[in-house]
Chain A
């Protein structure tokens, strides 16, 4: 229901300008009062802006989806098992993996090549949701620059390096959607909210 308070009625019967208003002066003084208040506030309390490259404002959203990283396992090896789930899930088709037989005993495959075209990527986060071993994650990093398109295709080493830099950060994946009709998954496997595990 629309409440009465939600309805905005434009009042067309505004009174004609008063004598003082026709001299413009009261309104001008009122405006000058407002601007000088901001002037004083900025001088004494400092501006509300931040000096961007040196200063950064904290991100307002917890699950900000920025540049990807490729996680390492406990032994420092790449965690990816080259299952191609992420590149299959990717709607922008920006992940290119070449798998090979793993030299380690605990898995069958590992990626020899793992390239992400950061310019093609739409930062939807489907890859991290698809990943069965939580090897690919989106970090909160947002200042991604490069001089050429080629430079913006990140290979495995670069993505691992991003992990090394952001090791301390545990990216918070999509939070639980309240009221979302959950069906019990008998296999207990992947659901839309699987990212909740690390929350």
Chain B
């Protein structure tokens, strides 16, 4: 038994169980924090009735989801209708298998195990492939619902996810070119050195633009505001999950948050050095005892929590994009910039300068060119007052002043 538990397979199995369990709890708590943050931003306390500070609100919500009547409308395509939430839920959770949580653990003298459910050579491809599967859940849900609002939501989701996967993929390619590997653990390890002895070699300092764009596309992939046109209550009732109720709706709801956690963890590993943090010796790759593993996991989770907070903060700050604006941002904005970044990374790799200050210089040049192009653009900005028929411009017409009511 101890033999099994100390093998890589045993540790992976145990880790899978722990990760799934923790993750289910964490996604549920994400909903609570989302509501709390929404409350604070809107000058109100948020949920505070169930338990101290409302921390048992999610238990109440979960019980409500479980005990509500699970309506399957008569007009739906039943097998697909049931399958859709299962797919989206599964896909949101299996992506975690390749996330490197805490480097290596020296479980016995000279025997190391990875704190990672699976450490495939193509970990990055695995996450990308699995993440792009989630569009199936949405499309099937929308299609099977046999409802025009659901279908419109699903169509929007397809177009949006396809469009935003291009800049997402290109941003990741920039990192793959720079790091020369698809294995997430190796990408983390390569970021643990220092420049000038104190700046950690995190990729965010090499390719800040790619970092920003990856964050934006991650929001779009997770269907978070300002890219939540898939749901768009005002236009589409609830989008693809209009017809869903009870636990099936709960699965859609939870998987959105699971998706947020996955993408945050991915960005953390790719750009912020994963479990590495400067000045804490226990988060260096040399530290492999159990305490170090725990500290590394905490560091990674703290970074992920930071991302999730920013995503929630953005959600309660920004209004939703219009669909044409969404498409314009992807095709005319993000894709050209990421293509330029990709070319930059390729050129730097060719000259062997991909981990030097030249990457930053290239980024600055690209930002400058983007600003110039954007500034010289004469594209009409829709929805502004200049496109509306004139009202009340110019001198005040005679008689208006005298017609005013006294007092």
Residue numbers of A with Cβ under 8 A of B are 1-2, 7-14, 16-20, 22-23, 28, 31-32, 34-36, 38-39, 41-43, 47-49, 51
Contact = CB atoms under 8 A, between A and B. Distances in A.
Contacts of A41: 43
Interface in B370-390: 370-372, 374-378, 381, 384-386, 388, 390
A1 B385 contact: no
Interface of A is mostly: loop
A8 B393 CA distance: 10
Contacts of A13: 386
Contacts of A2: 400-401, 404
Given A1-B406, A28-B317, 13 more contacts: A1-B401, A2-B400, A7-B396, A9-B393, A10-B392, A14-B384, A19-B372, A38-B42, A38-B43, A42-B39, A42-B44, A49-B43, A49-B45
A14 B392 CA distance: 15
B385 to A, nearest CB: 5
B318 interface: yes
A18 B374 CA distance: 8
B316 interface: yes
Contact of B41 (A19, A20, A38): A38
B406 A12 contact: no
Interface of B: 37, 39-45, 48, 313-314, 316-318, 370-372, 374-378, 381, 384-386, 388, 390-393, 396, 400-402, 404, 406
Closest 3 CB pairs between A and B? A19-B375, A2-B404, A22-B374
Contact of A22 (B377, B385, B392, B401): B377
17 contacts: A2-B401, A8-B392, A10-B392, A10-B393, A17-B381, A19-B371, A22-B375, A28-B317, A32-B317, A35-B313, A38-B41, A39-B41, A42-B39, A42-B41, A43-B40, A47-B43, A49-B45
Contacts of A48: 43-44
Contacts of B370: 23
Contacts of B37: 39
A31 B193 CA distance: 36
B6 to A, nearest CB: 45
Contacts of A28: 314, 317-318
A23 B336 CA distance: 13
B404 A42 contact: no
A23 B370 CA distance: 9
A10 B317 contact: no
Contact of B386 (A12, A22, A36, A43): A12
A124 B263 CA distance: 60
A34 to B, nearest CB: 7
Given A39-B37, A48-B44, A19 B313 contact: no
Contacts, number: 85
Contacts of B404: 1-2
Contacts of A16: 378, 381
Secondary structure class of chain B's binding surface, majority of residues: loop
Given A19-B374, A48-B44, A36 B385 contact: no
Of A8, A31, A35, most buried by chain B (CB within 10 Å of CB) is: A35
A35 B317 CA distance: 6
Contacts of A18: 375
Nearest to B372: A19
A32 B314 contact: yes
A90 B152 CA distance: 56
Nearest to B370: A23
A32 B315 CA distance: 10
Contacts of A23: 370-371, 374
Nearest to A7: B396
Contacts of A49: 43-45
Nearest to A45: B43
B317 to A, nearest CB: 4
Given A1-B401, A32-B317, A42 B393 contact: no
Contacts of A10: 385, 391-393
A31 B392 CA distance: 30
Given A2-B404, A10-B385, A12-B390, A20 B317 contact: no
A12 B41 contact: no
Contacts of A35: 41, 313, 316-317
Contacts of B396: 7
Contacts of B390: 12
A147 to B, nearest CB: 23
Residue from the set A10, A41, A43 with the largest chain B CB neighbour count within 10 Å: A10
Nearest to B43: A48
Nearest to A33: B317
Contacts of A36: 41, 313
A39 B313 CA distance: 9
A11 B214 CA distance: 38
Given A10-B391, A23-B371, A47 B317 contact: no
A49 B313 CA distance: 21
B381 A12 contact: no
B393 A12 contact: yes
Contacts of A14: 384-386
| Among A16, A18, A48, residue most surrounded by chain B Cβ atoms (within 10 Å) | A16
Contact of B392 (A1, A9, A32, A39): A9
A5 to B, nearest CB: 13
Contacts of A22: 374-375, 377
